Amino acid sequence: MKRHATWLYLLFWIVVSFLTMFPIYWLFVISVKPAVELFSTPEVLLSSVYWQNYIDVMNDSTLRGYMVNSLIISTGNAALVTVLGFLACYALTRFELGGKESIFFWTITNRMAPPAVFLLPLFLLFTQVYKFGDFTLLDSKIGMILVYCTFNLPFAIWTLRPTVDGIPKELDEAAFVDGASAWTVITEIILPLARPGLAVTLILTWVFAWNEYLLAATLTNFNARTLTTGLSEYVTTTGTEWGVMATISVFTLIPALIIFSMVQRHIVAGLTFGAVKG
Amino acid sequence: MKLNLKLSASVVALSMIAGAAFAQEIDVKNPEWWQEAGKQFEGVTLHGVTESTPASNYISDVLAPKFEDLTGISVQIETTSWDQMYDKAIKDMEAKTGIYDMVYIEQDIVYAYLARNFLVDVTKALKENEGLNAPEYSEDNFTTFADNFRGKDGDLYGLPMEAFIKVYLYRKDLFDDPDIKAAFKEKTGKELKPATTHEDYAEIAQFFTDYGKEKGMDLWGTTAQAHTGHPASWYEYYESVAPTFGVYNWGIDADNNYAATVEHGGTMNSPEAKKALKWWLSMRDIAPPESVQSTWTEVATTFAAGRAAQGLVYGENAAWIATDESKSRVVGKVGVALPPLEKGVMEDAESGKGYIGYYDGGAFGLPVTSKNQEASLLFLQFMALPEVQEDWAAAGSRITLTSTYDTPKVKEIDEELGGYYTMLRDDGKLFKGAPEYPFHRQVIEATTPTFYQILTGGISVDDGLDQMAEKTEEELKSLGYRK
Amino acid sequence: MQSNRLGWILLAPTLVILFFFGVVPFFYVLWLSFHQWNPFAADPNVIFNGADNFRALVFDNGFLSSLGVTIAFVFFAVLSELVIGYALAQAFLKDFPGKAIFRTIHTLPLIMAPIIVGSIWKLMTTPSIGIIPSLLRSWFGYDLNIGTSAVAAFTVTVVMDIWHWTPLVTLTLIAALVSLPSDPFEQAQIDGANKRQIFWHITLPMIMPAVLATVFIRLMDALRTVDEVLMLTGGGPGSATRYLGVHIFKEVFPRTNYGYGSAISIIVLYLTIVACWLLYVSLIAPRNTKG
Contact: A274, C202; criterion CB under 8 Å: no
Residues in chain B where the model's pLDDT stays below 70 = 1-25
Output the pLDDT for position B17: 37
Domains of chain C: 61-290 (1.10.3720.10)
Question: Angle C120-C122-C126 (CA atoms, 0-180°, nearest 5)?
Answer: 130
Cis bond upstream, residue C237 (ω within 30):
yes
CATH 1.10.3720.10 spans which residues of chain A?
57-271
Nearest to C86 by CA among C174, C154, C9: C174
Contact: A113, C269; criterion CB under 8 Å: yes
The per-residue pLDDT for range B158-182, each reduced to its tens digit, is 999 999 999 999 999 999 999 999 9
Neighbours of chain B (3+ CB pairs under 8 A): A, C
Contact: C236, B290; criterion CB under 8 Å: no
Nearest chain A Cα distance for residue C176, angstroms: 7
Return the residue in C19, C31, C111 with the most chain A beta carbons within 10 A, the one to mutate for interface testing.
C111
Q: Is the dihedral of CA A75, A81, A85, A86 positive or negative?
A: positive
Contacts of B328 in chain A (CB under 8 A): 36
Contacts of B87 in chain A (CB under 8 A): 218
> Which residue in A has a C-alpha nearest to residue B55's C-alpha?
A238
Contacts of A138 in chain B (CB under 8 A): 97, 99
Q: Does A70 lie at the interface with C, CB-CB under 8 angstroms?
A: no
The per-residue pLDDT for range A261-272, each reduced to its tens digit, is 787 777 655 443
**How many Å is the maximal CA-CA distance in chain A?**
73
Output the pLDDT for position A257: 83
* Residues in CB range of C16: below 8 A, 6 or more apart: none
Q: What is the mean pLDDT of chain A?
A: 86
The partner residues of B159 in beta bridges, in order of sequence, read B364
Q: Does A226 lie at the interface with C, CB-CB under 8 angstroms?
A: no
Contact: C175, A153; criterion CB under 8 Å: no
CATH class of B2-162+361-407: alpha beta
Are β-strands A235-236 and A239-240 bridged in parallel, bridged antiparallel, or unpaired? Answer: antiparallel
Nearest to B312 by CA among B356, B355, B354: B356
Output the pLDDT for position B385: 94
Nearest chain B Cα distance for residue A12, angstroms: 35
Other CB atoms within 10 A of residue C212 CB: 18
Contact: C148, B456; criterion CB under 8 Å: yes
What are the domain boundaries of chain B? Answer: 2-162+361-407
Per-residue H/E/C for chain A: CCHHHHHHHHHHHHHHHHHHHHHHHHHHHHHCCCHHHHCCCCCCCCCCCCCHHHHHHHCCHHHHHHHHHHHHHHHHHHHHHHHHHHHHHHHHHHCCCCCHHHHHHHHHHHHHCCHHHHHHHHHHHHHHHCEECCEECCCCHHHHHHHCHHHHHHHHHHHHHHHHHHCCHHHHHHHHHCCCCHHHHHHHHHHHHCHHHHHHHHHHHHHHHHHCCHHHHHHCCCCCCCHHHHHHCCEECCEECHHHHHHHHHHHHHHHHHHHHHHHHHHHHHHCCCCCCC
- Integer Cα distance of A270 and B306 in angstroms: 57
- Integer Cα distance of C58 and C70 in angstroms: 17
DSSP B340: P
Residues in chain C where the model's pLDDT stays below 50 = 1, 290-291
A35, A119, A232 member nearest B81 (Cβ):
A232
Task: Give the pLDDT mean for A53-59.
Answer: 87
- Integer Cα distance of A173 and A164 in angstroms: 14
Output the pLDDT for position B20: 34
Output the pLDDT for position B1: 35
The per-residue pLDDT for range A214-236, each reduced to its tens digit, is 899 999 998 999 998 888 888 76
Neighbours of chain C (3+ CB pairs under 8 A): A, B
Contacts of B287 in chain A (CB under 8 A): none
CATH code of the region A57-271:
1.10.3720.10
C4, C171, C216 member nearest A200 (Cβ):
C171
Return the residue in A238, A244, A245 with the most chain B beta carbons within 10 A, the one to mutate for interface testing.
A238
Other CB atoms within 10 A of residue C83 CB: 13
Output the pLDDT for position B335: 94
Contacts of B480 in chain C (CB under 8 A): 41-43
- Integer Cα distance of C262 and B203 in angstroms: 50
Q: How far, in Å, are B58, B60, B126, B131 from residue B44 at the CA level?
A: 21, 16, 19, 18
- Integer Cα distance of C125 and A21 in angstroms: 16
Nearest chain C Cα distance for residue B434, angstroms: 16
Q: Does B305 lie at the interface with A, CB-CB under 8 angstroms?
A: yes
- Integer Cα distance of A34 and C186 in angstroms: 59
> Which residue in A has a C-alpha nearest to residue B218's C-alpha?
A40
Q: How far is CA B192 from the centre of its chain?
A: 29
Nearest chain B Cα distance for residue A243, angstroms: 9
Output the pLDDT for position B2: 39
* Residues in CB range of A277: below 8 A, 6 or more apart: C90, C93, C177, C180, C182, C185, C203
Q: Does C41 lie at the interface with B, CB-CB under 8 angstroms?
A: yes
Task: Tell me the residues of chain C between 60 and 79 that have a Cβ less than 8 Å away from chain B.
Answer: 62
Nearest chain B Cα distance for residue A123, angstroms: 8
Q: Does A73 lie at the interface with C, CB-CB under 8 angstroms?
A: no
Q: Does C129 lie at the interface with B, CB-CB under 8 angstroms?
A: yes
- Integer Cα distance of B403 and B387 in angstroms: 9
Rg (CA), chain C: 23
> Which residue in C has a C-alpha nearest to residue B438's C-alpha?
C40
Query: How much of chain A, in percent, has pLDDT values that exceed 70?
Result: 93
Output the pLDDT for position C288: 56
DSSP string, B102-157: EEEEEGGGHHHHHHTT-B--HHHHHHH-GGG--TT--GGGB-GGGGGGB-TTS-BS
> Which residue in A has a C-alpha nearest to residue C27's C-alpha?
A121
Contacts of C172 in chain A (CB under 8 A): 159, 200, 204
Contact: C127, B289; criterion CB under 8 Å: yes
Output the pLDDT for position B292: 95
Nearest to B90 by CA among A231, C105, C257: C257
- Integer Cα distance of B66 and B77 in angstroms: 14
Contacts of A115 in chain C (CB under 8 A): 224, 226
Task: Tell me the residues of chain A between 29 and 48 that have a Cβ less than 8 Å away from chain B.
Answer: 34-41
Nearest chain C Cα distance for residue A222, angstroms: 20
* Residues in CB range of B463: below 8 A, 6 or more apart: none
Contact: C280, A182; criterion CB under 8 Å: no
| Banded model confidence at residue A2, pLDDT cuts 50, 70, 90 | low
Output the pLDDT for position A238: 60
Return the residue in C3, C92, C112 with the most chain A beta carbons within 10 A, the one to mutate for interface testing.
C112
Contact: B302, A229; criterion CB under 8 Å: no
